[in-house]
C-alpha cells in the first residue's frame, strides 16, 4: 500500500480512513505474532482519530491525511510509550512530542504504534531489543536488519503504510534494504532531532521508511525543515513535492561508482545486483564515472569511536532517577545507579558505553577520539572531491544480503564491519537512500544506495523515482 494511492482514493471517496486503518490492523493481527514489529499499539486511539479525520475530509487534504504511520520507539510521543527497545525505559512516556511527530500529526497522519528496534538504536540486525527480535517478513528465519527493524518490517509486511525510523550509521537504509522497502537518511541538519532520543548526536537523523520513492518524498517533506528547538537544524529552502518531481524524468545525472565499494568480500548477489542498476541507468542516458573514496577503509573504526563516545555521554542520564526502570534491593544511591544500569541495559549497550568511555578517557582521548575526528574530515573531503564531478554516488547498502537470526549474534565485530557502506555517508552528514533492486539466491531483498550532495535530497528522489518507474523489473 502506498501513501500516494491511498491519498487519491480518499479524495475520490473510494476508500474511507477506517477502511485503510482496519486493513492495517487485520494485517497486524495475522502477522504480528511472527514478525514482532511493534513494541506498543494504540488501536483505540487510532480508530477514534480515524473517525474524526473522516468527518473533516476535504478535497485539499495533505498527502499524509488519514495515513496509518508507525513510529520508531526512540522518537518521543507524548501519549505513548517511548522505550528505545530498552528495559531501562520501561513505562516511560515523554512529556512532549518530537517535532517530527507534531509535524505528521498536523498533516493528519494516524500514529498506530511504536516500533521495535535494537536497544537505543545500537545494532544492525533487530536482535538487540528487550522486547525480542523482529523477523524479516520475507522469511522469518532471517533478520530484518536494524536498528529500525520494526519500522522496516512493518512497512514491508503491510503492518503500516509508512514509518519513521532513525539512522545514525545506517539504521534506516540497511533494514530498508533487508526488508525490500525504501529508506532515506536525510542530510544531517535537515530534519529536527528534537525529541529523538540521542545515541550519537553528531550523526543521528530521523527519516522515512516507505513502499516507494514517491512516498519517501511525501514523508520527508512533511518532517523536514528548520526547527528552532534543535540547534543543529539548518534553515535552508525545502522543495515541496511538486517541485521535487517536476520533470524528474528529463534529467540525466552523472553517477559516481566508487572502487572501494565493489571490492572482494562483497557478496556476489549484492555486487552484481547493484552493478546491474548502474548499467540500467547508463542505458537510459545517465553518465557513469568511476571514482575513489579512498579513506573508506577507516570508516568503521572512526564510526565506532565517535558513535560510542557520544553514546557513552548521552546514556549517562539513565540512572534510575529520572526515567523508567529502577532496580530493587539497593542500600546506597551508588548501588541504586549501578544495579539499575546493570539490569536495565542489554549487552550491546553496555559494550558501547564501555568502548566510548574508554575512548574518551584521559590519556586515550587524543589517540582515539581526536584522531577519529581527523579521519572523519578526510572521509568527508573524499566526498567533497567526488561531488565536483558527479551528482550522485551509487553503492551497495550492505555487503551481504539478510542473514539468519542468531548467525552473527556472538560476533559483534563482524556485525560492526557490515556497516561499512552506510557509515561513510553518515560521517560526512550526507543524504542517502536505499531502494530495493533485486533478490539474493535465497530470495531475500537486496537494495542499492544513492548518496547525494548535502541538502540535495531532490536529486536523490528524482533519480530514485526514475529507477522505480522506468528501470526496475516488474513484480
Contacting positions for ligand GLN (CB under 6 A): 121-124, 147, 167-171, 199, 307, 419
Q: Least Å distance between CB 167 and ligand GLN?
A: 5
By beta-carbon proximity to ligand GLN, the closer residue of 300 and 393 is 300
Q: Least Å distance between CB 303 and ligand GLN?
A: 7
- The residue ranges of DSSP E strands in 12-169, in sequence order, are 38-41, 68-72, 110-115, 162-167
Half-sphere exposure of 173 (CA within 13 A, CB side): 33
Q: Least Å distance between CB 202 and ligand GLN?
A: 13
Q: Which of 115, 470, 108, 471 is nearest to 280 (CA)?
A: 471
CA distances for 33 relative to 90, 134, 180, 301, angstroms: 21, 10, 20, 37
> Radius of gyration (Cα) for the chain, nearest Å?
21
By beta-carbon proximity to ligand GLN, the closer residue of 205 and 233 is 205
Question: Helix H segments across 83-140?
Answer: 99-106
Contact 378, 295 (CB under 8 A): yes
3-state secondary structure of 205: strand
By beta-carbon proximity to ligand GLN, the closer residue of 177 and 462 is 177
By beta-carbon proximity to ligand GLN, the closer residue of 125 and 216 is 125
Q: Least Å distance between CB 73 and ligand GLN?
A: 13
**Distance, first Cα to last Cα, the chain:** 14
Helix and strand totals (H; E) in the chain: 16, 11
Q: What is the largest CA-CA distance in the chain?
A: 71
The residue assigned the cell 517536476 is: 246
Q: Least Å distance between CB 70 and ligand GLN?
A: 17
By beta-carbon proximity to ligand GLN, the closer residue of 147 and 296 is 147
Q: Least Å distance between CB 179 and ligand GLN?
A: 15
CA distances for 291 relative to 260, 310, 388, 465, angstroms: 9, 31, 11, 24
By beta-carbon proximity to ligand GLN, the closer residue of 340 and 422 is 422
Residues annotated as catalytic are 72, 147, 171
Using Cβ positions, the residue closest to ligand GLN within the complex turns out to be: 171
CA distances for 153 relative to 46, 116, 135, 288, angstroms: 20, 9, 7, 33
Contact 417, 300 (CB under 8 A): yes
Amino acid at each position: 500500500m502506498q501513501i500516494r494511492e491511498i491519498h487519491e482514493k480518499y479524495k475520490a471517496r473510494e476508500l474511507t480512513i477506517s477502511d485503510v486503518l482496519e486493513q492495517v490492523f487485520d494485517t497486524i493481527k495475522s502477522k504480528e505474532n511472527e514478525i514482532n514489529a511493534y513494541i506498543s499499539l494504540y488501536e483505540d486511539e487510532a480508530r477514534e482519530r480515524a473517525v474524526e479525520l473522516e468527518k473533516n475530509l476535504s478535497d485539499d487534504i495533505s498527502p499524509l491525511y488519514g495515513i496509518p504511520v508507525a513510529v520508531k520507539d526512540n522518537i518521543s510521543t507524548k501519549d505513548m510509550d517511548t522505550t528505545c527497545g530498552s528495559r531501562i525505559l520501561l513505562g516511560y512516556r515523554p512529556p512532549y512530542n518530537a517535532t517530527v511527530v507534531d509535524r505528521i500529526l498536523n498533516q493528519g497522519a494516524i500514529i498506530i504504534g511504536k516500533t521495535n528496534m535494537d536497544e537505543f538504536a545500537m545494532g544492525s540486525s533487530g536482535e538487540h531489543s528487550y522486547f525480542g527480535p523482529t523477523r524479516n517478513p520475507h522469511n522469518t528465519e532471517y533478520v530484518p536488519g536494524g536498528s529500525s527493524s520494526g519500522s522496516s518490517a512493518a512497512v514491508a509486511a503491510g503492518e503500516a503504510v509508512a514509518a519513521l525510523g532513525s539512522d545514525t550509521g545506517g539504521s534506516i537504509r540497511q533494514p530498508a534494504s533487508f526488508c525490500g522497502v525504501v529508506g532515506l537518511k536525510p542530510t544531517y541538519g535537515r530534519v529536527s532531532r528534537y525529541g529523538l532520543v540521542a545515541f550519537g548526536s553528531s550523526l543521528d537523523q530521523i527519516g522515512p521508511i516507505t513502499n516507494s520513492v514517491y512516498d519517501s518524498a511525501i514523508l520527508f517533506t512533511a518532517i523536514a525543515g528548520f526547527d528552532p528547538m534543535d540547534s543543529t537544524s539548518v534553515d535552508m529552502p525545502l522543495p515541496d513535492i511538486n517541485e521535487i518531481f517536476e520533470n524528474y524524468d528529463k534529467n540525466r545525472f552523472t553517477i559516481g561508482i566508487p572502487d572501494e565499494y565493489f571490492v572482494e568480500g562483497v557478496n556476489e548477489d549484492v555486487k552484481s545486483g547493484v552493478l546491474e542498476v548502474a548499467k540500467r541507468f547508463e542505458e537510459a542516458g545517465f553518465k557513469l564515472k568511476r571514482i575513489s573514496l579512498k579513506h573508506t577503509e577507516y570508516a568503521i573504526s572512526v564510526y565506532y569511536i565517535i558513535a560510542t563516545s557520544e553514546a557513552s555521554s548521552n546514556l549517562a542520564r539513565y540512572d534510575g532517577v529520572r526515567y523508567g526502570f529502577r532496580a530493587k534491593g539497593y542500600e546506597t544511591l551508588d548501588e541504586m545507579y549501578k544495579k539499575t544500569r546493570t539490569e536495565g541495559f542489554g549487552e550491546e549497550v553496555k559494550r558501547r558505553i564501555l568502548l566510548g568511555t574508554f575512548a574518551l578517557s584521559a590519556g586515550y582521548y587524543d589517540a582515539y577520539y581526536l584522531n577519529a575526528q581527523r579521519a572523519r574530515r578526510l572521509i568527508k573531503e573524499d566526498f567533497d572531491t567526488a561531488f565536483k564531478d558527479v551528482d550522485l554516488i551509487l553503492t551497495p547498502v550492505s555487503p551481504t544480503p539478510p542473514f539468519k537470526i542468531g548467525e552473527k549474534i556472538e560476533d559483534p565485530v563482524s556485525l560492526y564491519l557490515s556497516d561499512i557502506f552506510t557509515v561513510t555517508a553518515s560521517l560526512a552528514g550526507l543524504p542517502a537512500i536505499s531502494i530495493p533492486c533485486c533478490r539474493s539466491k535465497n530470495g531475500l531483498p537486496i537494495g542499492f544506495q544513492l548518496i547525494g550532495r548535502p541538502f540535495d535530497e531532490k536529486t536523490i528522489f528524482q533519480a530514485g523515482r526514475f529507477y522505480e518507474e522506468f528501470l526496475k523489473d516488474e513484480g
